[in-house]
Amino acid sequence: MDLNSPQRPFSIKLWPPSQNTRQTLVERMTYNLTTKSAFTQRYGVLDKEEAQENAKRIEDEAFAIANQHSEQEPDGDGGSAVQLYAKECSKLLLEVLKRGPGLNGNQEVVASDNTSAPVESVFDISKGKRAFIEPDEAEELLQPLKDPENSFTKICFSNRSFGLGAAQVAQPILSSIKHQLKDVDLSDFIAGRPEAEALDVMNIFSTALEGAALRSLNLSDNALGEKGVRAFGALLKSQNYLEELYLMNDGISEEAAKAVCELIPSTEKLKVLHFHNNMTGDEGALAIAEIVKRSPSLEDFRCSSTRIGADGGVALSNALGNCIHLRKLDLRDNMFGVEGGISLSKAFTTHAELREIYLSYLNLEDEGAIAIINALKESAPHLEVLEMSGNDITADAVPAIAACLAAKPSLAKLNLSENELKDEGAIQVSKALEGHVHLKEVDLSSNQITRSGAQQLALTVVQKANFQLLFINGNMISTEGIEELKDIFKTSLDMLGPLDDNDPDGVENDENSDEEEGGDELESKMKSLAVN
């Protein structure tokens, strides 16, 4: 030991605060939000539940910012971190106070006439030409973000490809404003870069934005794969309040899906989750299902074109049963099959708030489609959009479909194209839609419909005040039938879709048709035979 060395003074670390101190601060802010004061007299008093939620969020955000500051000063006593912590809490508390209570109509608000809700500011560089962005251009483009008085809460860097140099320019700028950001769009921002450079860029952005309490995050169109997902690990692991997450066209494989599930700590507030156009497969679907299961607030789920088969479809369907607030569901272009369709039908029994359902090209066949339709008949009373095209649905399923449609008075769009409903289906669907005043669009293209079925459809929809478009192309409507359709829509031809792919020589009620129908009937009876 060097006896001549100066004695180090005894010091007390002021940071981090104890859990008890943090909880006390949350309770103090809750009290401020629920008690009458000069601010609440002007902007309104929050109810206790809303106040507690806001107070907890404010404290978490302020702590994250101050804690990062403290890590940059490891030899300090934490005093500056405490000051920053208090400053951020005060700033965020003031924002909540000025925003006033939620729009639930239960609070008594006393507000001056000149108050208005704060307007989000958007910084968007995506409107220019799609091109690489160099460091000097990045310096110029991002200059507004360096203004200490800026109020940007959303940034969109989509459509511009960041290299390592441009990312290094962006890093300190993003770090300085991340505390105020709510929405970040980094879709398609590394296009054309070598993999190693792209991963470095993603790591830089991830580190720069780590700890930002985001509401929405869009990482679509970046060919992430598992490596890319993990490159964004720091950012993803710091997200506890996400309401919207977009990972479309990202090469999300089984391993990448598992990484997403592993890295995001909480999805309790998640309302929108989009996984469109990935190579997830059944195993990846299990990981996505786990995310869905942990997202009770989910309202909009898109998992279309993701190569999911029956096993993955069953797992997703089981998870969706927990999402009772679901309003929009898009599972198009997967391979659920009959088994997946039956599982999905069980989930629909809990979905009273569903407004839009997209289930085209799932290989449902009659059995899966009927199970789903029967479930929907008893749920989703305000359904507005139903799409089930390309599912090998035949006229055997039409009675169930018609009964379901009759129970959906809010229906605005119906797509049952590329099935085998024939005239019987077209006529029954037409009758089921007779009282639907909100109907705007019907698509029964490629359904082996002839003149009689097409005419019935046209007569049903043409008289509706809000109707906009009827698609019946790709059917077997005779030349006379087409002329009849044009006559029915003579005052509104724009409501009748194209008929250029129709087969005007398609047989209708001649002997060939009778023979074909007889063959269909015989085939149906043969299928029902049982061997004892």
Specify the pTM: 0.74
The predicted pLDDT at position 41 comes to: 62
Residue 291: how many other CB atoms lie within 10 Å: 20
> Left, alpha or beta for 333 (phi > 0: left; psi -120 to 50: alpha)?
left
Closest CA relative to residue 448, chosen from 387, 508, 497: 508
The predicted pLDDT at position 280 comes to: 94
Closest CA relative to residue 255, chosen from 209, 276, 224: 224
Q: Which residues pair with 161 in a beta bridge?
A: 132
In sign, the C-alpha dihedral spanning 374, 380, 383, 387 is: negative
> Residue 518 pLDDT > 70, yes or no?
no
Give backbone dihedrals phi and psi of 132, rounded to 5 degrees, phi first. Answer: -65, 150
Taking only the tens place, the pLDDT of each residue in 164-183 is 999 999 999 999 999 999 99
Residue 83, both tokens = 């000051």
Could you tell me if 210 and 238 are in contact, meaning their C-beta atoms sit under 8 angstroms apart? yes
Taking only the tens place, the pLDDT of each residue in 482-491 is 999 999 999 9
Spatial separation of the C-alpha atoms in residues 435 and 450, rounded to whole Å: 24
Residue with tokens 């500011």: 121
Taking only the tens place, the pLDDT of each residue in 247-285 is 999 999 999 999 999 999 999 999 999 999 999 999 999
> Residue 103 pLDDT > 70, yes or no?
no
Residue 151: how many other CB atoms lie within 10 Å: 12
Could you tell me if 426 and 447 are in contact, meaning their C-beta atoms sit under 8 angstroms apart? yes
The pLDDT-based confidence of 106 (bands split at 50, 70, 90) is very low
Spatial separation of the C-alpha atoms in residues 353 and 376, rounded to whole Å: 11
HEC string for 31-70: HHHHCCCHHHHHHCCCCHHHHHHHHHHHHHHHHHHHHHHH
The predicted pLDDT at position 510 comes to: 42
